[in-house]
Amino acid sequence: MMDTHLRSVDLNLLVIFSAIMEEHSLSAAAKRLNMTQPAVSNALTRLRHTFKDDLFIRTRHGMTPSSRALELLPPIQDALRIIQTTIDERRQFDPNTSNRAFRIALDDQSEATLLPRVLKILEKAGPNISLEVEPNVGDENISRLNQGQLDFLFTYHKPEDTRLNIEPLNEDCLVVIARKNHPRVQGKITREQFATEKHVILKHRFSDKTFLETVALEDFGRRKILSQVQLSSSIPLIVAKTDALGVVSQRIAENIKNRLPINVYPLPFEQQAMPYFMIWTRNMDQDLGHQWLKEIFLSISKSN
């Protein structure tokens, strides 16, 4: 019901309402807004119909607001102020003073590897800027991008949508990890070892699969499973304390190999490297804040 009412309201009427409140005169409000007085008078008629109140009463002191108009003034001015601030920030973006919250969707691997590097830059370059991170939950995020509910989506899947800009970042591949001093795995992992050792694997969750799910490890043959986990970043933690093997992205392996007692081995199967994409809507290209954050992601990607 609320959506229906909102669709019936011309937001320009709220600007006119605010001007009449401040000027106490239809002619003064018209001059301020560069409108004709009949146009402002017609807008007042529409406002009265929308709010079912006279709103302003003509007196010798000018247009005197009703109690309902006085009640409406603070929330309307707050809303107009928020809209104006948003528009101004997109036109003139200063990361040192902006308190903007950007919304991004990415998988847990990128949350562990890409996000910390971005936040390290933001701490100095945009001290009041924040990132709201949401899970990569499949095709739903494409719709959320197009509806303006997300600023960026990071994924291994390249969508076919002409409304989107798609920038390939670094390619990634899979590697095998095993704990150091593993009793049976040293130097390299053969196909036979891969088939006979137990594994920690990622449980399939979303229609938009993670990198591990996309590669379809079942193509490597049926594996012996020690455990299925919810997050790919959990795999190295378990591998480091058991004799199980794990298959993770090279990004994850490089990120944790010096912090956990694990060795990293090539996958004993042929594989193709997969590109990682940053995706955003074309209508954000004129947003200076959006451009600023995009360049940070790109610079980090090129520095890998």
What is the per-residue pLDDT for 209? 45
What's the average model confidence in pLDDT over 274-297? 90
What is the per-residue pLDDT for 42? 92
What is the per-residue pLDDT for 207? 44
What is the per-residue pLDDT for 4? 39
What is the per-residue pLDDT for 55? 93
- Asked if residue 78 has pLDDT above 90, the reply is no
Q: What digits encode the pLDDT tens for the residues 208-241?
A: 444 554 444 555 557 788 998 888 888 999 999 9
3-state helix, strand, coil in the chain (%, to 5): 45, 20, 30
User: HEC states along 109-154?
Assistant: HHHHHHHHHHHHHHHHHCCCCEEEEEECCCCHHHHHHHCCCCCEEE
CB 170 within 8 A of CB 301: yes
d(CA 89, CA 289): 8
- Asked if residue 7 has pLDDT above 60, the reply is no
What's the average model confidence in pLDDT over 50-62? 89
What's the average model confidence in pLDDT over 103-113? 86
Any idea what DSSP says for residue 197? S
d(CA 164, CA 151): 11
What's the average model confidence in pLDDT over 96-114? 87
What structural domains does the chain harbor? 2-91 (1.10.10.10), 101-171+276-303 (3.40.190.10), 174-271 (3.40.190.10)
Give the pair of three-digit tokens for residue 133.
Answer: 């991170």
> Is this prediction's pTM over 0.85?
no
What's the average model confidence in pLDDT over 169-189? 90
CB 55 within 8 A of CB 17: yes
Any idea what DSSP says for residue 272? -
CB 145 within 8 A of CB 137: no
What's the average model confidence in pLDDT over 267-273? 84
Give the pair of three-digit tokens for residue 249.
Answer: 């992205």
CB 103 within 8 A of CB 94: no
Lowest mean pLDDT: which of 78-82, 156-160, 183-187, 213-217? 213-217
CB 217 within 8 A of CB 247: yes
CB 24 within 8 A of CB 69: no
